[in-house]
Structures are given as C-alpha cells and as structure tokens.
A = this chain, B = another copy of it.
Amino acid sequence: MRTLVPFGARDPKTRLDAVLDADERRAFAEAMLEDVLGVLTDHDPVVLANAPVDVDAPVTVDERPLTEAVNAELAIESPTAVVMADLPLLDSDAVAELFAPDADLVVAPGLGGGTNALVVRDPEFRVDYHGVSVRDHRQSARASDTSLATVDSFRLAMDIDEPSDLVEVLLHADGAAADWLRAHGGRATTADGRVQFNREDPG
C-alpha cells in the first residue's frame, strides 16, 4: 500500500523555536522524516511536501495546505495510508499494528486530538486535519458506515511539536532524530520532580 508522509518543508516545527533555531529545526525535522521513512520501507512511502526536500524516497510537491494536498492524493489512489513525518518514536512493531486491522479506516490518534496515522481503504473517505481531527475522522467513518479500527500505540501517538516532547525522543527513540538531539546537547533532566528538556554545550 502506498503510504503518504506529509512533510512541512517550509520553516518546520516553529513551536520548537525556544530551544532550536531555524536551521536546527529544519535539520531535526529532516532527521525525524528519515526515521519515519526508515520504518516504512515495506509500505511504499511517498513524501508529500509543500516544497522540495532531498530524501531517499519519492517526493510529491504540493503547495496546498495539508488537508487539501492529502485529499487530492486520496482521490487518485485507494487504498492509501498517511503517516506523519514527526513520529521519531515509531518502530516496526507500531507500523505493523497500524496495518494489521482489516478495517476500511484505521486511525492512530495523536496527543492533543490529532490524527498521526491513517490507513484508508474506503475510496470515498477524506481527511480534515483542522480542529480535533481524530474526533472528526471517527465521526466521519461512523456517519458513512465505514468500518473503523483505532490503534493504541504510544509510539504512534507521540508527535513532536513542543520542547517538552523532545524528552520522549531522548528516552524512547534510537534513530536519526535522537542522535541529532544528543549530538546537539539535548538532555532529559529533572527539576521539581518533572522531566524537562535542556541543552548542554556538546563540548
């Protein structure tokens, strides 16, 4: 099955700007993309980017917003999977969980109401990433009697947007994104009983 990997190539991961500058955010976003593509090799990954990006996978450039770009691809080919590019905890077991259910729509919720991955076997289904997308995608499936399965995976749920999310990369990932963070001084430290992301001079 073809798997779309949407990638925001223009000024990516702006909510990380308290800890990473623009060039670092771009490099880190590309490291996460590399990790995701690495665990999707058996699932025909195609990067769907809003600007050219140099990666070891086919790239489709579509400048439209995420929802419109994904829906244009869903209209062309079915079945199709969609896996976000900012899931550096993803491993082959979690990918297998995503593709295992024999349902017309398989949803992997993201932290905070997002939809981090979908397997779309219903050719009529369309995405809407605005708002509480996981709720909307489930409601859309129920409204059209599309069979629905939900995947319970922390590795699929954990998209990286905020500085505090970087702690999860350091603790649970072992690919390019984790290597990049460690090489750039990323450390998980504790203060007041809570774990925080900090940067040290890598020396």
Residues of chain A touching chain B, judged by Cβ–Cβ distance below 8 Å, are 91, 93-94, 97, 109, 111-114, 130-132, 134-135, 152-157, 164, 167-168, 171-172, 188, 190, 193-195
**A17 CB, min distance to chain B CBs, angstroms:** 15
Which single member of B93, B132, B164, B172 contacts A188 (CB below 8 Å)? B132
Q: A153-B153, A154-B156 are in contact. Are A171 and B93 (CB under 8 A)?
A: no
Determine which residue in A114, A131, A157 has the highest number of CB atoms from chain B within 10 A of its CB, and name it: A157
Query: Which B residues lie within 8 Å of A188 (CB)?
Result: 113, 132, 135
A153–B158 Cα distance when bound, in Å, is 11
Docked-complex contact B135 and A171, CB < 8 angstroms: yes
Docked-complex contact B155 and A109, CB < 8 angstroms: no
**Number of copies of this chain that the complex holds:** 2
Docked-complex contact B171 and A113, CB < 8 angstroms: yes
A172–B113 Cα distance when bound, in Å, is 9
Q: Which residue of B lies closest to A113 (CB)?
A: B195
Name 11 A/B residue pairs within 8 A (Cβ), A-sorted. Answer: A91-B152, A109-B171, A113-B188, A113-B190, A130-B190, A130-B193, A131-B190, A131-B195, A132-B188, A135-B188, A154-B157
Query: Which B residues lie within 8 Å of A134 (CB)?
Result: 171
Query: Which B residues lie within 8 Å of A135 (CB)?
Result: 171, 188
A111–B109 Cα distance when bound, in Å, is 15
A132–B195 Cα distance when bound, in Å, is 6
**A46 CB, min distance to chain B CBs, angstroms:** 25
Query: Which B residues lie within 8 Å of A156 (CB)?
Result: 154
A195–B114 Cα distance when bound, in Å, is 9
A152–B167 Cα distance when bound, in Å, is 17
Docked-complex contact A112 and B194, CB < 8 angstroms: yes
A132–B172 Cα distance when bound, in Å, is 12
